[in-house]
Amino acid sequence: MKPLKIGMIGFGTVGGGVAKILLGEAERITRRAGRPIELRRVAVRDLNKARDIDLPPGVLTDRIADIVDDPEIELAVQLMGGTDPAREVMLSLLSAGKDVVTANKALLCEHGAELFAHARELGRSIAFEASVAGGIPIIANVCCALAGNQITSLSAILNGTSNFILTEMADKEESYGDVLRRAQELGYAEADPAMDVDGTDAAQKLVILTLLAFGTAVSLSQFPCTGIDSLELDDLKCADELGYVVKLLAVARLHDGKLELHVSPTLVRKHLPLADVQGAFNAVKVTGDAVGETWFSGQGAGQLPTASAVLADIIDMAVGRAQLTFKTLVLPGEGAEYEVQPIDDIVSKFYLRFNALDRPHVLADITDILGRNGISIASVVQHESPEVQNGKEPPVPVFIMTHRTTEGKMRAAEAELNRLDSLHSPCVRMSVAE
Ligand code: NAP
Ligand code: HSE
């Protein structure tokens, strides 16, 4: 049996997991792929870095060209992060006649349309199961298993790091910084963890799912994206008191013929399935016009869960399934695209937290601004403030839940609220799932 020779770029968290499975489970992989998979070259930035997996002699290189220019390598597995030089590398791999498997969602979010078109022109294929929701086979399900449906909505937890932080903070009352450091040690976080906690990573994955589910190319600037980085333990405790759990939710749904998209920390009712997703797990609820609601969940980040998805793509490439799937993807320009709902028109209930001075008229000022912007208040919670310490007046958290209102009204109110001298820090806002 002629082996499929592959070159892998990146030997970090995910690349290490792929090598572990390929080398350690060679017999099983050969059976599933119908032929041996030979890891011919692995490119890294720094040859002197300590690695915990031994590769056969001569495999490791610090020259990506050793993969691009090797005519025996048919398949490249692109596991370096970021967009630069990843875009150039991907274009040259495709131009050199190689199919590509990648986990890089930042790259596909920003340059997916260009890379997919380039691959199509050259008769090459790209597979990217690991780019969304780690080990959950969500790409395969959206593209293949649910292909008979018009998907009408996606509601998902797509960032393992954020979910891990929210879970650990709520359960163990650990500080945000300590849990983030642990997520980095466990290999969940991106090289720049700001992308995890500011919502960017989840938004990039939502862009990829939106392309597949709705045939529509959107950019990050077209929808609101907020992360968990301004949340405090007080927010999680207040949510709990009100009967909710906080989750970073990514939503794409058809609404009055338009595509509504957003990523935001969201209060989810305790009894709902998304509220039960713990740690680095992800979950995706996909609703289709024929199938109704479907649920997918599993580990959304980390070495072996992500390597599981990369291996599925490598095997699919070896047997020819990935090429068929790539050929039948309906890319932008090839079918009807949906108009994206303007950001200001998006409707939600909101949770607001103010760190306010405990003085006369402070609450009146807040409610006046909300009222003048047409925002109706559903509930207010303020506990008695702590004693004055060293002559300093500590701020008191004030929690407000609104009725349904628009993102536009909320943004206008926030601009005014954040100018109030009686607030210690900008107002914290979360959506409330209905
Ligand atoms: P990582 O641990 O930082 O590893 C990145 C690897 O790429 C390293 O081996 C690095 O080499 C190599 N590299 C970077 N720039 C290079 C260059 N210019 N030339 C050659 N090699 C280069 O990252 P990771 O966590 O494995 O993530 C890889 C990709 O998978 C990213 O796109 C990420 O978003 C995605 N992803 C990650 C996860 C996860 O749970 N970690 C899950 C899903 C998707 P050195 O080792 O020499 O530094
Ligand atoms: N940093 C990402 C996360 C890795 O935490 O979800 C998986 O894409």
CA nearest ligand 1 atom 38, residue: 301
Provide, rounded to the nearest whole percent, the portion of the chain with pLDDT above 70.
100
What does the mean pLDDT of the chain come to? 96
Widest pairwise Cα distance in the chain:
81
The pLDDT score that the predictor gives to residue 384 is 86
Structure confidence at residue 183 (pLDDT): 96
Cβ–ligand 1 distance for 133 under 6 Å, the answer no
Ligand 1 touching residue 104 (CB < 6 A): yes
Ligand nearest to the CA of 227: 2
Between CA 37 and CA 151 the distance in angstroms is: 35
Q: Which atom of ligand 2 is nearest to the CA of 130?
A: 8
**Closest atom, ligand 1, to C-alpha of 45:** 47
Q: How far apart are CA 236 and CA 353, in angstroms?
A: 11
d(C-alpha 9, C-alpha 381), whole Å = 52
Give dist(CA 311, CA 295) in Å, integer: 23
49 Cα nearest atom in ligand 1: 47
Q: From the CB of 261, is ligand 1 less than 6 Å away?
A: no
Using a 6 Å cutoff on CB, does residue 43 contact ligand 1?
yes
Tokens read off for 239: 């949510």
197-246 pLDDT per residue, tens: 999 999 999 999 999 999 999 999 999 999 999 999 999 999 999 999 99
- Establish whether residue 348 lines the binding site of ligand 2, counting it when its CB lies within 6 angstroms of any ligand atom: no
Q: Which ligand has the shortest distance to the CA of 109?
A: 1
As a whole number of angstroms, the distance between CA 322 and CA 79 comes to 18
Question: Quick one: which atom of ligand 2 is closest to the CA of 162?
Answer: 5
pLDDT digits (tens, 9 = 90+) for 124-147: 999 999 999 999 999 999 999 999
C-alpha dist (Å) from residue 162 to 80, 114, 248 = 21, 30, 7
Angle at 14 between CA 166 and CA 105, to 5 degrees: 70
pTM here is 0.97
Across-strand partners of 126? Answer: 100
- Asked whether residue 389 carries a pLDDT value surpassing 90, the answer given is no
Cis peptide before 85 (omega within 30 of 0): yes
Q: Is 326 helix (H, G, I), strand (E, B) or coil?
A: helix
Q: Reply yes or no on whether 205 is catalytic.
A: yes
Give the model's pLDDT for residue 331: 85
How far, in Å, is the centroid of ligand 2 from the Cα of 73? 29
> Is residue 333 over pLDDT 90?
no
Of 5, 20, 98, 205, the active-site residue reads 205
pLDDT at 101: 98
Predicted confidence at residue 302, as pLDDT, reads 97
**Cβ neighbour number for residue 53 with a 10 Å cutoff:** 14
User: Rounded CA gap, 317 and 319, in Å?
Assistant: 6
The tokens describing 2, both together, are 């002629």
pLDDT of 26 reads 97
- Are the beta carbons of 325 and 141 closer than 8 angstroms? no
Q: Measured in angstroms, how far is the CA atom of residue 305 from the centroid of ligand 2? A: 11
Encoded amino acid at 212, one letter: L
- What class has domain 4-133+306-328? alpha beta
**How far does the centroid of ligand 1 lie from the alpha carbon of residue 191, in Å?**
8
3-state secondary structure of 161: helix
138-299 carries CATH number 3.30.360.10: yes
**C-alpha 130 – ligand 2 centre gap (Å):** 10
Q: How far is the CA of 196 from the centre of ligand 2 (A)?
A: 7
Atom of ligand 1 minimally distant from the CA of 301:
40
The domain spans of the chain are 4-133+306-328, 138-299, 345-432
pLDDT of residue 332: 79
Is 10 touching ligand 1 by the criterion CB < 6 Å? yes
State the Cα–Cα distance between residues 432 and 350, nearest whole angstrom: 5
Domain 345-432 has CATH 3.30.70.260: yes
Output the pLDDT for position 211: 95
189 Cα distance to chain centroid? 11
Whether residue 160 has its Cβ less than 6 Å from ligand 2? yes
Is pLDDT above 90 for 115? Answer: yes
Report the DSSP beta bridge partners of residue 282. 298
Is any ligand 1 atom within 6 A of the Cβ of residue 130?
Answer: yes
| pLDDT 10s digits, 6-41 | 999 999 999 999 999 999 999 999 999 999 999 999
Distance 166 CA to ligand 2 centre (A): 14
**pLDDT band of 394, cuts 50, 70, 90:** confident
How far is residue 62's CA from residue 40's CA, in Å, rounded to a whole number? 14
Task: Find the ligand nearest to 43 CA.
Answer: 1
Establish whether domains 4-133+306-328 and 138-299 are of one fold. Answer: no
